[in-house]
Amino acid sequence: MSEQDNVLVRVENLKMYFPITQGIVFQHHIGDIKAVDGLTFNIYRGETLGLVGESGCGKSTTGRAILQLYRPTAGDVYFENERLTTLKGERLRRMRRRMQMIFQDPYASLNPRMTVGSIVGEPLEVHNLLTPKKRRQRVQELLEIVGLNPYFVNRYPHEFSGGQRQRIGVARALAVQPDFIVCDEPISALDVSIQAQIINLLEELQAEFKLTYLFIAHDLSVVRHISDRVAVMYLGKIVELTDRATLYSNPLHPYTQALLSAVPIPDPAVEDRRKRIILQGDVPSPANPPLGCNFSTRCPYAREECKMVEPEFRDVGGNHWVACHLKSD
């Protein structure tokens, strides 16, 4: 299979702007929050693409825009050869069977008025799959797959711990047998011991059902463990994208270098020799990003070109993509 045939999701110049309005009765459009500002990347079949960056950089918005939960302001998203950004109504609903999402907060993403059986079985009902009797059997089977007692179907979400609730969320995502799942920080609200269990569960399910993940997180250690490739986001843009081994051994973008310098290493000798990169200043507002490179206001190596000209996101060799003027010399 060629590399092009192996692409499951293709994102081209994706933009997601949220309008800023002024006025109570007559509202005027005075600007935009540029949450996602021109992303281009591929997700290959069977891989896990990690998407990392600090809070507010646009990671979750990217995941939702890919699934068309937010309709993008501009750009295109292709699932195989289907252009999702032009689909509406029934055609889009049918495509949703192949794309699902695991949400960040297991306490907010489950309806407290619905039983576990109803929550996990709802996708089957929406897509009119199976008879009621077989639907119930499928729900019990799904609960067993994610490590829960199949007889919990009549219980309510408040009767479960955070880790168990997230397993219910995983079961719901698996119900319609999708090919692609967006994992939107699925472990950030959980205890560390439970995080490892959920990560192991996701890896086992990926191997068993040949799933493809977009794994959104801000914990670089977790991303290193689960991802095949890693994309680093800053202020609505991807600044670096490569395989995990290259990213952690040879980060090229100054922002990636600063992020990795903050990850603790459990070896006192190595930790003492490392130099921590402390970034100055705050992240600019996505309503008014800097001219040129978004990172130029905090980059320790910024020069005049960086403040005036936006760097091209390009392959510097070995499928290692970076958006930095310093790496184009």
**Spatial separation of the C-alpha atoms in residues 175 and 128, rounded to whole Å:** 12
How is residue 73 written in tokens?
Answer: 């302001």
Q: Are strands 7-22 and 28-44 parallel, antiparallel or unpaired?
A: antiparallel
Render pLDDT for 301-327 as a digit per residue (tens, 0 to 9). Answer: 989 999 999 999 999 988 999 999 987
How is residue 237 written in tokens?
Answer: 């843009």
Cα→Cα distances 67→39, 189, 227, 267, 299, Å: 15, 22, 20, 41, 33
- Please report the pLDDT score of residue 238 as a whole number: 96
- What are the residue boundaries of the structural domains of the chain, listed by start? 254-329
- Element (H or E) spanning 18, and its range? strand 7-22
- Is residue 73 within 8 A of residue 286, CB to CB? The reply is no
Instruction: Write out residues in the chain with pLDDT < 70, as ranges.
Output: 1-4, 266-267, 269-273, 328-329
Q: Give the dihedral sign, CA 43/232/252/263.
A: negative
Spell out a b/e string for 127-163, using b for 16 or more CB atoms within 10 Å of the CB, else e. eebeeeeebbebbbebbebbbbeeebbebbbeebebb
- Look-up of token digits 């319609």: 176
- Please report the pLDDT score of residue 329 as a whole number: 56
Helix (H, G, I), strand (E, B) or coil at 231: strand
For residue 51, what are the β-bridge partners? Answer: 216, 231
**CA-angle at 127, arms to 207 and 15, nearest 5°:** 70
Helix (H, G, I), strand (E, B) or coil at 75: strand
Helix (H, G, I), strand (E, B) or coil at 269: helix
Query: 297: Cβ–Cβ under 8 A, 6 or more apart, which residues?
Result: 281, 284, 290
Q: Give the dihedral sign, CA 149/155/156/161.
A: negative
- Is residue 110 within 8 A of residue 166, CB to CB? The reply is no
**Spatial separation of the C-alpha atoms in residues 148 and 143, rounded to whole Å:** 5
- Element (H or E) spanning 29, and its range? strand 28-44
Per-residue DSSP letter, 190: S
Render pLDDT for 147-182 as a digit per residue (tens, 0 to 9). Answer: 999 999 999 999 999 899 999 999 999 999 999 999
**Spatial separation of the C-alpha atoms in residues 282 and 64, rounded to whole Å:** 26
Tell me the longest C-alpha to C-alpha distance in the chain. 67
- Please report the pLDDT score of residue 228 as a whole number: 95
- Please report the pLDDT score of residue 241 as a whole number: 96
- Element (H or E) spanning 129, and its range? none
- Please report the pLDDT score of residue 317 as a whole number: 87
How is residue 321 written in tokens?
Answer: 């993509």
Helices and strands (H, E) in the chain, number of each type? 11, 12
- Look-up of token digits 């499951």: 8
